[in-house]
Structure formats: structure tokens, C-alpha cells
Amino acid sequence: MAADINDIIGKYRQGRREELIPLLQEIQSVFGYISEDAIVRVGSHLGLSTTKIYGLATFYDQFRFFPAGKIHIKLCNGTSCYMNGSKAVADRFREELRIEPGQTTRNGNFSLETVTCMGGCYHGPVIMINGEHHIHVQPEQVPELIKRLKYIIDND
Amino acid sequence: MEDLKAFLIEKVLLFESDTLASGTEKVLQKVRRDKTSVPVIHVTYNSSSIIAGADKTLTAIKSYVADNQTSAEVITVGCAGPANYEPLVCVQMPGKNRLFFRNITEEKVDSLLNGVFHSDINDDDLLGQTGEKGFGLWPGIPFMNELPFFALQKRVILSNCGCYNPESIEEYISRGGYRTFIKTIRHYTSEEVCDIIERSGLRGRSGGGYLTGLKWKQALTTPSNSRYLICNAKESDPGSFSDRTILESDPHRLIEGMAISAYAIGASNATLYLKSGSDHALARFLKALEWAREYSIIGHDIYSSGYNLEITVRVEPGAFVCGEETALINSLEGKRGMPQLKPPYPTSSGLAGKPTVINNVETLMNVPLIMQYGPEWFRGFGTEKSPGTKILAITGRGRMSGVVEVEMGTTIRKVVEDIVDGIRDGKDFKAVQMGGAAGTFIAESDLDTPIDFEALKEKGITMGAGGFVVIDDSSCMVDLVRYYMEFIRGESCGKCIPCREGTGRMLEILESIIKKPASEDSGTTLERFKGVMQLETISSVMKDTSLCGLGQTAPNPFMSALRNFREEFEEHIFDRKCRANVCRGLRTFIINVEKCTGCTVCAGKCPVNAIYGTRLQPFFIVEDKCIGCGICYDVCKFSAVIVK
């Protein structure tokens, strides 16, 4: 894993500050999150202190500092989904999984993320489970859905 | 393929005369599939249709074609507009008008295609036919452009969307694409292009409405050895998707617009600043960019004009405030996306201290058309001070939804009543919200306002990036204001105090209005009233003293909602009632003793064990324990639970 980070960093040869965000984005897209180790390495490559990089990364919503769960659930909280009841769906997920958006369950199975608009406004509330869309989701479907997902994880 | 490329470059792109040779036109017709010998099936394929299941539809259509050994061609196209009709499928039989079918999920594919191929069409899924010259008519089928959704639109910028395969540069060139750019760099100077755009009266479509030509001139006249063009495709408002739709449906015209604009300001670097999470749009745009490079539309010394251009894409890392120009530049420079005091404006000192022009997607989409048809043509649309058209991303509770384009000066009422066709599920209209998260609510009484910069400004309505949310009476205005405020508070960058603290305080007060207090003693009530009294003051302070547009406009939803729906706020504050029954904290439930059968379902489901009773006897709810979640109301089969 350590070698890979160096490979990515190696692509950004100029070592200028403008490259910081694309570099972090690429690290996240490969590893799924930005580790402490990655921040240290990026810092020494770009000549920036780790606090600066951490400060920047936490400013933006896109970056996460813990691995996502085996099943990553994106909840749309766009205006249209909200008006169609996305809050109740999100609440149900939070209650069932006992995590907040942005967190991962302790066993590493599930993680939640809130996004603003995925583009399915007419079909709200929309959620996305590991890249697959579910439309017109109702809160009462959530426990059943999670049960099914747990079953999939257990039998994997 | 190589032959076609050489042909297109020589006979189309570099062809000097405005009208092409008739032999060329014939080849282009073939590329455009105007006259085909086999049926062509167009499947709308963009993020909104994929959500609705276009992926599976496409697979089903492909396997139908393979199984039946039909010689039909299957292509994917961009978005045609109505999102509620996705997945949209269009079939073009040889020599006949194209037929559009709505909501074609995978299981409908077989019967649909069987029907069309054997001229036995199922009317339920049929939307209409196109009416182009020289094609056979389908009797008794309505024309697409006569449907109210399309009839009242003026699809100028979106004219290509949904008509061609956005991944094919050949099709774009065959529709007249990139010729204008080549003509521009060969025959016009940068000053001339700026002049033409200024004369056309094109105004930035992102809200401020600044004259685009003038902005360009400011950058052009600032002495510098390099300049930058940035296309802002950030559209960060929750629920706006017009930029994404354009990027997915017609990326080539955007590239052409960016190229011409970069030439006009003398920039050899252009950047697309894209919203994070738009993976599909990103992939399409990168592919289009690759093709443009292949055809030498971008690169070094483009077609011996001496002009160099490089276009890069940067994905925004997720911060609402980065839609603001100076914050955007900071983010591109690898810093926190925090806005800065203006002046200096980016046109004099922007990215890396160089003159930078930032335009949004919709503005740049107009540019190739103005250069092609001239500024007078552009002035033929819209009103005198706001020429052109406006793209609206319609969402919410209307019957129709999707990306539409109307002429400037169209009234909001026309959009709501005719294009959107009223409210779905038999509910009543309540308001329209325009301008995104920091936009304004428009009540019934203001619906006759025309959509143009001046008229909207006069009424205090923000145009914004074109978000158009239709709200019905199932939504609570106070709750919606709270939703927007929660969003903005989360996105406030924290640099200036009025915005950072103001949004937090406003959210707190709004929450106190809709929440059930721990104890309803006079202390909490007094606090609540004090808060409410302060809301308006906080709003005006934020408006006057915030550093950037985000803080200055953050109170807009609250102020416009208070202006138009004061009685709803008062009901929440004084009567502790929510007329839409949305605010959980204000709901109280009681059980109708006569209807309750004592089935125990509600007691079992209650998350806080607030329902007591004996089996087969009427149950009752302990009000102090009840959190107003409404589960008992939902699960009761005998309608015995009543909302008070």
C-alpha cells in the first residue's frame, strides 16, 4: 500500500500547491480514504506542513479520513428528495445502523454519506447503495433493506 | 473512420463558404442519421435516466435486437428534457417521423419494439412524434412540439440535447459544430469577438447578470502575459442539475463555447470546474475533450491560426462556497475555498494573479450560437435588457420535471401552469422557490412576474443558476426554511462572523419554533419569542455585513417566506400548529376510543413506549412521552389515530 501512494505522488512531479487537491482526490479514489500516512507523504512531497493539508482536507466535504464500509450508502438530501421525505429515510438509516452520515459502523460493514442531488429528482427519495440506485424509498422499507444487505455481507 | 475524419476536417471545418457543397451535405445527412435504411433506437442515457433504470432498458433493447436479428441500430443520446418520462426511448423507422415513448422500463421493451416494428403501437407509453420535413407521418399521433411541455419552451441552447450521441464528435460536426470556432479564430480578432458578444447583450447566467462581453474586455485589456478562462460548472445548490444535464447531453458545444471565449480573452488555458460526484458528466466531458484533441480543435497552433489552447478539468472537492469566484480560485490554487474581498476582481487579478474570466456553463453555451448567427439574432429572443433564453431545472412536486429552456420574459405562472402542468397527486400549489439554497420563495400573487433580470430584481427574487422548485401544500414553509438554513450553515466557510454565527443562530431559532420544548414553562416560551423577534434583525445584519454572496443571500429563504407566508410562521409560534403536518415536534396524536380495536400494533411499534392499554380494549397515548414521530398513525389499520 505504501508503495502505491508513492506511485500516485510520483505522477505530480511539479510539486506545486495547485496539485494538492487533485493529488488528494486521486489518493482517495484509489484507497477510498486519506490515511495519516498519506497526509505525511503528500506533505513532504509538496513541502507543506501536515496541519495545512489536514486543515484543507477537512474543509472540503469530499475527503474522508476513515475507510468506507463494505456497503456504502449515499442518501440524497436535495430539495426535491427532502420534500418527498428524505429526512425520515435518513433518520431511519441512522437509527438502524446507529451511525451518523460520514461515519462507518464499528465492524466496517456500513457507512453513510449525505449528498445534495444525484439527479433523480422526480423519483425521490433516492439512495445509492454501492453504486446502485434505489428510488421512491420509504422509511418503512429501511429495516428490511438493511437486513438484506447484512445477509449479503454474511454470505460473501 | 479515418476517411470520415479527413473529410469532416477538409470539407466541413475548413470549408470557407457558409453553405456546404451538396455532396458534403449528403454525407452529413448520413452521419446525422437523417435518412436511414434501418430502424434506429435512441435511448436517453444520462444520470437521471440511469436512476430511473435506463441501464437495464438499454441492455434489454440490445438483447432484443440481437435475439430477433433485427438490423436496428441502438444509440444512446442525452437528455431531451422531461425527467419524469425517463427512461425515454425514441424509435426512428426508415423514412418515418421519430416516435417517443415514455417510462420504458426493461419489462416493457419487448412489447414496445414488437409493436413498433409491426405497426401496432401501444398508446399508453406513447408520447408523440417529431414533425420534420420529408418524413412520413404517423396518423393520429400528437406532435412532440405541440405538447405543452415543449410548445412553450424555446430550446436554443438545448437544441442538441437529446438529439445526438454526445460521445460522437462526427455527429456534432455534422450538426454544424466547431465550424464557428474555426471561423472565429481564423477571421476575427479577440477584440472583435468581445465586441460581438457585448453587442448581443449576453449577460452572465449565474445571478448577477453582468454583461459577458464587458467582463471579457476587462480581462483582455488588463496587461498580462497569460490569462485564464474558467467554466464554472459547480452548481452546488441542492436540487439543481442543469449544468450536469448539459455536460452529459451536449459536451461538445460547451467545449466550443469555452474555446471561443478563451480566444476572446486571449487565454490559452481554460479550466472546467466541475461539481464533485458528477461522474457521468465527467466521463462524457473527458471523452469529448479527447475527441476534440483528436480533431485538433484544441492543442498547439490550431489549424495554422497561431492560437494555442489547452482545456483541463478540475473536480471541485465539495464545498458550496466554491461557486463564488474568489473562493473558486482559491480552491484551484490548492487552498481552502474561502472568498476574498473584491476588488481586485478576478478579471484583473485572478488565478495565479493573472486576469481570469469565470463564466458558468449556460453563459458559455450561448457563445457559439451568437458567433454563428450574430448578435441581432440573439437579441431576437427575450426582452430588451435581458436577451436570450433561460434554462430552468424544474424539480419538486410538479407533474412535470426536468430541464427546460424558456425565453426571457416568460412569466413564472406560465412555467408553473403550462410547462410543469400543475401539481401532482391532486395537491394544491403553494409556492415556487427560485435561485437555489439562498433563493427566494414566490407566492401565488407574484406568479405573473416575468423571468428576466430586471423584473425579478424589482420583486426581490433571485434568478440564481436556474433552480425552480415547485412546492405544494404538503410542505411546511417553516420546515423548508429550516432545511435551507441547515444546508447553508453547514456550508458557511467560517471566514466572516456575520455568516458563520448568523446562520447558526438563525437555524437555532428556527428549530426552536418547530421543536417540542422539554418543558413548556414561561421561560422557554419567552426565549422562543425573543428569538423570533431577533430573526429579522439577524437577517438584515447578515445581508449588510457578510463578506460574500453566500452570507449576504443566506437570509433570503427566511425573509421571502416570512413576507409571503407570515401566517404559517405565526401558527407555528403562537398556536404551535403545523398546517402541513410536517413538523414532527408540533404534532400530537390521540386515539379515537370508538375506532380503536385494541390490536396492539401501534403500541408494539412506538419507539418510546408512549402507548398503553390492554389487549382488545382501547389504547391511549401519553402526551408527555410522545415524540410525534407518527409511526402509530401510519400503522393503524382502523384510522383510530388522529393528528391533533
CA distance B233 to B247: 9
Write the pLDDT tens digit of every residue in B462-481: 887 888 999 999 999 999 99
Write the pLDDT tens digit of every residue in B513-522: 888 776 666 6
Mean pLDDT value across residues B565-586 = 88
Q: Is there a contact between A18 and B332 (Cβ–Cβ < 8 Å)?
A: yes
DSSP B502-559: HHHHHHHHHHHHHSPPS--SHHHHHHHHHHHHHHHHHHHHHHHH-SSHHHHHTTHHHH
pLDDT for residue B510 is more than 60: yes
As annotated, the residues of chain A forming the CATH 3.40.30.10 domain(s) are 71-154
Q: Which three cell numbers stand for residue B575?
A: 398556536
pLDDT for residue B32 is more than 80: yes
DSSP B213-244: HHHHHHHHHS--S--EEEEEE---STT--HHH
Output the CA torsion sign for B62, B283, B268, A11: negative
| Cβ distance of B83 and A62 shorter than 8 Å | no
| pLDDT for residue A3 | 60
This model of the complex carries an ipTM of 0.93
- Does B587-643 match B33-146 at the fold level? no
The C-alpha angle with vertex B419 and arms to B131 and B203, in degrees rounded to 5, equals 95
pLDDT for residue A2 is more than 60: no
What are the C-alpha distances in Å from B219 to residues B284, B357, B358?
A: 30, 7, 10
- Class in CATH terms, B169-379: alpha beta
Residues of A whose CB is below 8 A from B467: 79
- Closest residue in B to A57 (Cα) is B336
- Is the N-terminal amide bond of B139 cis, ω within 30° of 0? no
In sequence order, what are the residues at sequence separation of 6 or more whose Cβ sits closer than 8 angstroms to the Cβ of residue B55?
A: none
pLDDT for residue B1 is more than 70: no
pLDDT for residue A146 is more than 60: yes
CB contacts < 8 A, A to B, total: 118
CATH fold for domain A71-154 = Glutaredoxin (3.40.30)
| pLDDT for residue A106 | 92
Write the pLDDT tens digit of every residue in B600-619: 988 888 888 889 999 899 99
The more confident residue out of B519 and B208 is B208
Q: Is B643 helix (H, G, I), strand (E, B) or coil?
A: strand
CA distance B11 to B31: 14
CA distance A6 to B154: 52
CATH hierarchy code of domain B33-146: 3.40.30.10
- Closest residue in B to A127 (Cα) is B51
CATH hierarchy code of domain B587-643: 3.30.70.20
The residues with which B126 forms a beta bridge, in sequence order, are: B101
What are the C-alpha distances in Å from B327 to residues B116, B324, B341, B561?
A: 53, 5, 10, 29
CA distance B178 to B517: 63
pLDDT for residue B95 is more than 90: no
CA B558 to chain CA mean position, Å: 22
Domain borders along chain B are 33-146, 169-379, 389-475, 478-575, 587-643
| Cβ distance of A119 and B47 shorter than 8 Å | yes
Helix (H) or strand (E) run with residue A79 in it: helix A79-83
CATH fold for domain B478-575 = de novo design (two linked rop proteins) (1.20.1440)
Residues of B whose CB is below 8 A from A78: 238-239, 395
The domain B389-475 is placed in CATH, from the list 3.20.20.70, 3.30.9.10, 1.10.40.50, 3.10.20.600, at 3.10.20.600
Residue B415 banded pLDDT, cuts 50, 70, 90: very high
CA distance B227 to B229: 7
- Closest residue in B to A23 (Cα) is B334
Helix (H) or strand (E) run with residue B245 in it: helix B242-249
Mean pLDDT value across residues B416-437 = 92
Write down the residue that cell numbers 452570507 correspond to.
B551
Write the pLDDT tens digit of every residue in B336-381: 999 999 889 999 999 999 999 999 999 999 999 999 999 999 999 9
Mean pLDDT value across residues A131-152 = 92
Cβ-based interface (< 8 Å): residues of A facing B: 16-22, 24-25, 55-56, 59-63, 77-84, 95, 115-123, 126, 133, 135, 140
- Closest residue in B to A80 (Cα) is B396
Residues of B whose CB is below 8 A from A29: none
| pLDDT for residue B518 | 66
* Residues above pLDDT 70, as percent of chain A: 98
Write the pLDDT tens digit of every residue in B295-307: 999 999 999 999 9
Residues of B whose CB is below 8 A from A81: 239
Neighbours of A3 (CB within 10 A): 6
Residue B175 banded pLDDT, cuts 50, 70, 90: very high
